[in-house]
Amino acid sequence: MTPEKEAEYEAALQVALDAGAKVLAEGGSAMDAIKAAIIPMEDSALFNAGKGAVFTWDGTNELDSSIMDGRDRSAGAVAGVKTVKNPILLADTVRTQSEHVMLMGAGAEAFAAEKGFAVTPPEYFATPARREALERMKAEPLSALDVDHKFGTVGAVALDQNGNLAAGTSTGGMTGKRWGRVGDAPVIGAGTYADNRACAVSATGWGEYFLRVGVAHEICARLRMEREEKRGAIEWEASRAVNEANPGNITYTHVRSINLPSQSAQDAADDVMDDVASLGGDGGVILVTPEGHAIFSFNTSGMYRGRATSEGVREVAIFGGEDQASATPDH
Ligand code: ASP
């Protein structure tokens, strides 16, 4: 990557980060914040989502996206859409205005038309760099991993002032995908998951492996169970103390706010990413917990990322070791 390109990516990440952070600072919802962050990345030709999406084998751009609200675990997703400028908004409309979670292809586009989405001409999404990547892949026996610049999918996770979590992901998938291939990004539980009791996760990487591991849900499940276990232990102790003071009179004290340390989130993310690596996959995740721990883990050489907190942290980074949090060990 040239210094100029690096600066371009960092500036684009900053725009997305600022857009999301502004919503949260003004008291907006986590759901609105992630949409505000994802839209400029879908609109930027730099990322593999919306404009700038990778090409399928047949030379088209087919977009996948999903979104989830941690408050009620409502979720929406679209796969293989070709004429929707901002697939994250269509995914959200599936969530809020249909009784379904996932729509695909022509059906998703018919739904979009019914809900008033403009038809964006397919040429809008096509960029010379991504076309060249497809041509290179066809000319030389290269895998999508070699040509995709690992990987360029966009995603955002957020915690708002009311303690609600949200996650969203948007992608063009992998260069040269065929036969209606759908990756992890639009699959709730694989590429995206949000649960106020656990965390919000968005993933990027070799989708087949993230699907097999169920990455986003797996990380959330680990944190949910850890929190439950901790709560169980505290409640047990409390009820025992009450029982000792008043024998025969068991009263349960419910402890509702159980805080997990940042390391719990880091360990859950690292362990699940190690599991992806053990199967042969690579990529990364971003997540945020109800305590506000904003964590990432990846086993590629870099992952475009940014982080903003109400304490004033504002950082964007591309490669490993550029900020205080760590990449997965051994990679
Ligand atoms: N996870 C996406 C997919 O497999 C690709 C990416 O993250 O760039 O479709």
For residue range 114-132, what is the model confidence (pLDDT) as tens digits?
999 999 999 999 999 999 9
Confidence of residue 329 (pLDDT cuts 50, 70, 90): very low
Residue 211 has pLDDT above 80, yes or no: yes
The predicted-structure confidence for 77-117, as pLDDT tens digits, reads as follows 999 999 999 999 999 999 999 999 999 999 999 999 999 99
Q: Across-strand partners of 66?
A: 77, 169
Nearest-atom number in ligand 1 for the CA of 54 is: 8
> Which of ligand 1's atoms lies nearest the C-alpha of 191?
1
Ligand 1 centre distance from Cα of residue 249 (Å): 56
Q: CA-based diameter of the chain, in Å?
A: 79
- The number of the ligand 1 atom at minimal distance from the alpha carbon of 153 is 8
Residues 262-310 have pLDDT tens digits of: 999 999 999 999 999 999 999 999 999 999 999 999 998 889 999 999 9
**Could you give the CA distance from residue 117 to residue 307 in angstroms, rounded to a whole number?**
31
Question: Which one of 206, 213, 282 would you pick to mutate in the ligand 1 pocket, going by the greatest count of ligand atoms within 8 A of its CB?
Answer: 206
Residue 283 is which amino acid? G
239 confidence band (pLDDT: 50, 70, 90) = confident
Give, using CA atoms, the residue closest to atom 7 of ligand 1.
Answer: 204
Element containing residue 208 per DSSP (H, E): helix 207-213
> What is the 258 CA–ligand 1 centroid distance (Å)?
34
Pocket of ligand 1 (CB under 6 A): 48, 151-153, 171, 173-174, 183-185, 204-205, 207
Q: Ligand 1 center to residue 216 CA distance, Å?
A: 13
pLDDT classification of 143: cutoffs 50, 70, 90: confident
Long-range pairs, 149-152, Cβ under 8 A, ≥24: 150/282, 150/283, 150/300, 150/301, 150/302, 151/48, 151/204, 151/205, 151/206, 151/283, 151/300, 152/46, 152/47, 152/48, 152/49, 152/52, 152/54, 152/204, 152/304
pLDDT of residue 149: 59
Ordered structural domains, the chain, with CATH: 3-319 (3.60.20.30)
Q: How far is the CA of 172 from the centre of ligand 1 (A)?
A: 7
Mean pLDDT of the chain: 91
* Mutation to probe ligand 1, out of 170, 171, 177 (largest number of atoms < 8 A from CB): 171
Test site for ligand 1: of 151, 285, 296, 305, most ligand atoms within 8 A of the Cβ: 151
Residues marked active site are found at: 153
pLDDT category at 325 given cuts 50, 70, 90 is very low
Question: What φ, ψ does residue 287 adopt, rounded to 5°?
Answer: -150, 160
To the nearest 10 degrees (0 to 180), the angle between helices 3-25 and 30-43 is: 150
Confidence of residue 327 (pLDDT cuts 50, 70, 90): very low
Q: 184 CA to middle of ligand 1, Å?
A: 7
Residue nearest atom 8 of ligand 1, based on CA coordinates: 151
